[in-house]
Structure 1
Amino acid sequence: MHFIEPGMYPIRILTAADASAYRSLMLEAYEQAPDAFTATAAERRAEPESWWIRRIGSADGLATSLGAWQNEQLVGTVALEYSAKPKTRHAALVLGMYVQAAQRGQGLGLALMKAAVAAASSRPEILALNLTLTEGNEPALRLYRSVGFVTWGVQPQAIRIEAGLKGKVHMSLSLS
């Protein structure tokens, strides 16, 4: 299923066949933007292929990953995780958002986020999207706000990075 095609970047749901491309892109993300993720590149590099396949999309329908492509190369991605718990299955988590540096500033991040919102909205039980970002990541904050996400809190000292401790900004988007 294709969602949005911003110029030359078709966006579609990733499948197990995309696992190698997804792993390569996300390892690049962990290396290039280590402050944006709670896991390290070394931790993710150690994950087996089966972990990456589950991350792309689980058989139980609790995970979906979207990818943006340029000339058959994966250049951007965003993932959705859904809860199986009755009390929280109305909200999905947005994670793993990354666009390669060469493709930034062209609206691809916005297109990926709109595709994620569309994918979540296609599930009638999903009423909200939640995400976190590291304090100080102003480009990501602007992007998420442009889609309609609102900040509802900041977890202080949530992650330890080379520069010290940083908080995690919590944001939500109502789909109802």
Structure 2
Amino acid sequence: MKAFTVRRINDSDLDDFIRIRLEALRLHPAAFGASYEDWKQKSAEFFAERLRVESVFGGFDLQNTLQGMIGVSSNTAPKLRHVATIWGMYVRAEMRGTGLSKSLMAAAIKAASGAKTIKLSVMTTNHAAQILYRSFGFREWATDTAALCVDGVFYDELLMRLDAESSS
């Protein structure tokens, strides 16, 4: 029996979503393009809008506590609507190794199933995440050198993608 459930985060989970997103940004500043300092200034409406316009999934433990999250953005521009982007993957330390990351990733990929390409980025030093993403078929297509600068330290990002199989 799994020690968690995965479902789309909704308005009733807003406070928990804000907490876990800010926690992720605060604890792992080099893992995200967004910054804790910027996002802690955002209004609850800003976070609620993310839940309305993007698919954000949460992993909840048996006490219904939000323990992890992942987001999926779909592009609406006519020339880019075939591309979805996975963002904000985070699982609390105590839930790592339980299969929650894998379940969150599966939910995100399913939500992006209409896209021809799903993209994500991961720090070049985050080998556990890279292994997870590769297990779903993601492949590297570029390295963004010095993609992020955190406290004067530059970090490289590995750009990965999953392309839908050709139907021809």
For this structure pair, what is the TM-score category when the shorter chain's length is used for normalisation?
over 0.9
Tell me if the contact between 1:14 and 1:57 (Cα under 8 Å) persists in the aligned partners.
Answer: no
> Where do 4+ consecutive residues of structure 1 move more than 6 Å?
none
Match of 2:129 in 1: 140
Q: Could you tell me which amino acid in structure 2 is paired with residue 155 of structure 1?
A: D
- C-alpha distance in structure 2 between counterparts of 1:147 and 1:166, whole Å: 24
**Cα displacement (A) at 1:8:** 2.3
Tell me if the contact between 2:25 and 2:36 (Cα under 8 Å) persists in the aligned partners.
Answer: yes
Q: TM-score, normalised by structure 1?
A: 0.89
Query: What stretches of structure 1 of length at least 5 have no aligned partner?
Result: 1-5
Q: Could you tell me which amino acid in structure 2 is paired with residue 84 of structure 1?
A: T
- Superposed CA RMSD: 1.3
The alignment of Structure 1 onto Structure 2 pairs a total of residues equal to 164
Match of 1:169 in 2: 158
Match of 1:78 in 2: 70
- 1:13 paired with 2:4, answer no
**Aligned equivalent of 1:46, options 41, 47, 68:** 41
Deviates more, 1:163-172 or 1:81-90: 163-172
- C-alpha distance in structure 1 between counterparts of 2:6 and 2:107, whole Å: 8
**Cα displacement (A) at 1:72:** 1.3
Give secondary structure in 1 for the equivalent of 2:149: strand
- C-alpha distance in structure 1 between counterparts of 2:10 and 2:70, whole Å: 13
Give secondary structure in 1 for the equivalent of 2:112: helix
Query: What stretches of structure 2 of length at least 5 have no aligned partner?
Result: none
- C-alpha distance in structure 1 between counterparts of 2:121 and 2:159, whole Å: 5
Deviations 1:127-165 (A, max 9, x none): 111001122111111111111100000111111123711
- C-alpha distance in structure 2 between counterparts of 1:173 and 1:89, whole Å: 15
Match of 2:89 in 1: 97
Q: Could you tell me which amino acid in structure 2 is paired with residue 15 of structure 1?
A: N
Give secondary structure in 1 for the equivalent of 2:77: coil
